[in-house]
Structure 1
């Protein structure tokens, strides 16, 4: 088996690459050690490579790279729950980011298909996510790929860390047409967590609110986003009959995932404010389990509620295997 190209190399006589964490269409992510600091602590080195080798692409990629590095630097200094940017540099026409290593697990280890979470656990989780996202929105930044894989539970303190801010995707999707003009593909995000306006290349702060709401619904129902049906007349999600949820929380989540962005909470701060009264309420008692309406034949089969398992405790904190390449920690 061929060894990854940078393993064993030292960049800038500073960052010694120890192993590959992940690969994808946008480049490679490596675990490295900072040789200049006591104890040689770990960091993450991301090697970014535009798909096109055309020289016209490189200046655009460089501009995107510098802009993203500036955003990451500002956000990392603003919040301890956003990975810090240690360095960014270019060598031989290729770009590198050096960032804080997040020791922990992502939320796919907590929001698990087929398992439902109690309402109080879901409220606390969404509150923690929205608090971090509010900092991002206050800096006038829209995170374009909110999903469980991009939210880490840090091992040292159990706090949520938001990762993967997306310029690497812009660089990776740079295209050049027959007239030599450079452009960026518009749809950046993940199906199921990406609302219509974002899929059309026009993300808003409310697009992030939608994604967080979808995670809450996923945790309450045990269903993946694509397993949920939509009302054919309104386009709104049908999910409440699958969940044991209070009217208060149900109404907040309904507003978070409205089909049209104008009907959602417009920022993470606004959604967070709506959550606070619910968190202060006592845990609701549900007398009878909800009934599940039949699934139309053209829908993917869903998991019967009787087969879902309730898990109130978070799993043990471990470092999972890496899935997407552009993660701030393995």
Structure 2
């Protein structure tokens, strides 16, 4: 079926494979390629249609958004047009993230404006609620775990979504991942604009009080996400969940499932009416989400560590729990931290994997291994070639590569001969190996070093460029080096100085920071801050390049769970994001706190703990500086 997009057509439905509407004679193909199939939504500013891209052999589905404001008045029409145009710009920037729809096209035809974007096959959470009933704690935690990094990414691009609700969160069918859609109400903000009154947009039932006054801030999105969680937990209208006479939320009396105090506190903090009492960033919510023992009106206690932690006992490696009790007996010649439910261990010269009970689930048979990625895939070496296995040990891509990187963002870099390319999760080479050097995919993009000849440039040598998932070059540069993306920013080097760029290659922070032997690779952003070296001292900058913590440290590490390791004189301690000492300098070496189950031992595989050294003894500490478990020596 073909659907006519002429808003005045009386009979818009047509048969397949025709070019002109049988009723009004309008063209049925947009840009001679996009065919609307049916209307799937309508709002105050336009209509949304399910469509197909007939220019591609597979005829993939997509979504057409037609700008058609149902309003009167020149000022309102201009504002609506401006919002529609800005949505195209936002989607082009944000759509590189795997959990945000990609913008495919933006154009005008027959006096109408159109957006074409990726179709997300799945049900939104409002539909899921109607079909399956109220969510339990596990599903709410999964929702927050999935969406908080997306919000962190969105906010790092200085965008407020302003319309987070169950209908705008889709559970994608192919991988059950949650996708945030509909950025039509989103607002691009600057530091000054945060304090200005803007247009009141968004769904009233989910909008924060300040947003209802046209003063949306980043915390407004956290409020909307919190109200979304309350609605999904109770299946009760949001207005019923708030007692206006007492000016407080009463959602707990409508919950029919057990909710932990820690999650309840997190949700209460997300929906605080006063912005100063509410979480200010997605990362703050994420930190508390990692703390099962979070209690009301107390300082956050260290999170309970549930996964085993590797530790050397005598001449062998085993695993202990958070109390220091041995739970997997020492029996391995080396033991890595857990990545998910599996950890790599070495017996003799061969590597295999054990589960959390210590049972060997993938027999030692590999000459080399990588930890399992979030996709449940690990690179392994058999003989001189690398391949990939799943978490059951099944080979999904036979050993055939000279080198192989772990999966990131659904793609993995592989080396054939002396050139690099990329494979997908089926092991199929989707971007041919012709790059001299590569970086991992993040947020839908990867930086690669390409031979100048391949770019059609006359001079010899190589040039860095940014590619999308199809291998298409979306940006070329004259940088000497480009590094992995993190939090929407990538470090780049020109000479002996480095700065930062957006994934698109737009320079955000000019190269001005020093490379030295301690930091040959420029630091990535973590929790909105990056350590930088100025005049031989280390400090921290934010995403705009502003110095937040003055350069004063001999060495420094990245932030995690609100703390960063810094060296003052000859000893290491930890500071908070205001630059204040949280743990006094006393260690000869200190690593970052783990904000997730880190896949490598040196990053500390213990959730919420950091690994430190005093003389020759290694220890785990919690965020108060308290030692956890026994010490050990390498």
Q: Give the CA deviation at 1:61.
A: 5.1
RMSD of Structure 2 on Structure 1 (CA): 3.1
**Partner residue of 1:219?**
232
> Mapping of 1:17-56 within 5 angstroms?
17-51=36-70
| Structure 1: unaligned runs, 5 residues or longer | 170-183, 284-330
Q: Greater strand share, 1 or 2?
A: 2
Would you say the 8 A contact 2:148–2:282 is kept in 1? Answer: yes
Distance 1:65 1:221 in 2: 34
> Mapping of 1:180-195 within 5 angstroms?
186-195=199-208
Distance 2:231 2:248 in 1: 15
Q: Give the CA deviation at 1:215.
A: 2.0
Q: Which stretch shows the higher mean deviation, 4-13 or 20-29?
A: 4-13
Give secondary structure in 2 for the equivalent of 1:278: coil
Give secondary structure in 2 for the equivalent of 1:262: helix
**Partner residue of 1:250?**
264
Distance 1:25 1:228 in 2: 27
Would you say the 8 A contact 1:86–1:99 is kept in 2? Answer: yes
> Mapping of 1:222-233 within 5 angstroms?
222-230=235-243, 232-233=245-246
Distance 1:31 1:134 in 2: 29
Distance 2:230 2:154 in 1: 23
> Mapping of 1:112-261 within 5 angstroms?
112=130, 115-167=133-185, 186-230=199-243, 232-233=245-246, 235-243=247-255, 244-261=258-275
Distance 1:274 1:84 in 2: 31
Would you say the 8 A contact 1:213–1:257 is kept in 2? Answer: yes
Distance 1:6 1:197 in 2: 46
Q: Give the CA deviation at 1:134.
A: 1.7
**Partner residue of 2:278?**
264
**Partner residue of 1:275?**
289
Q: Give the CA deviation at 1:140.
A: 1.1
> Mapping of 1:24-103 within 5 angstroms?
24-51=43-70, 62-77=81-96, 79-103=97-121
Q: Greater helix share, 1 or 2?
A: 1
Distance 2:14 2:218 in 1: 37
Q: TM-score, normalised by structure 2?
A: 0.39
Would you say the 8 A contact 1:113–1:222 is kept in 2? Answer: no
Please list the CA deviations of residues 84-104 of structure 1 after superposition, one character each: whole Å capped at 9, or x if unmatched. Answer: 000101124321000001110
Aligned length: 267
Distance 1:97 1:276 in 2: 39
Distance 2:186 2:229 in 1: 27
| Structure 2: unaligned runs, 5 residues or longer | 1-8, 16-20, 22-27, 188-196, 294-302, 307-634
Please list the CA deviations of residues 58-90 of structure 1 after superposition, one character each: whole Å capped at 9, or x if unmatched. Answer: 76655443322111111011x111000001011
Structure with bigger RCO (C-alpha 8 Å, 6+ apart): 1
Q: Which stretch shows the higher mean deviation, 159-168 or 61-70?
A: 61-70
Distance 1:53 1:137 in 2: 33
**Structure with the greater alpha carbon radius of gyration:** 2
Q: TM-score, normalised by structure 1?
A: 0.72
Distance 1:75 1:112 in 2: 30
Would you say the 8 A contact 2:170–2:179 is kept in 1? Answer: yes
Q: Does 1:4 align with 2:12?
A: yes
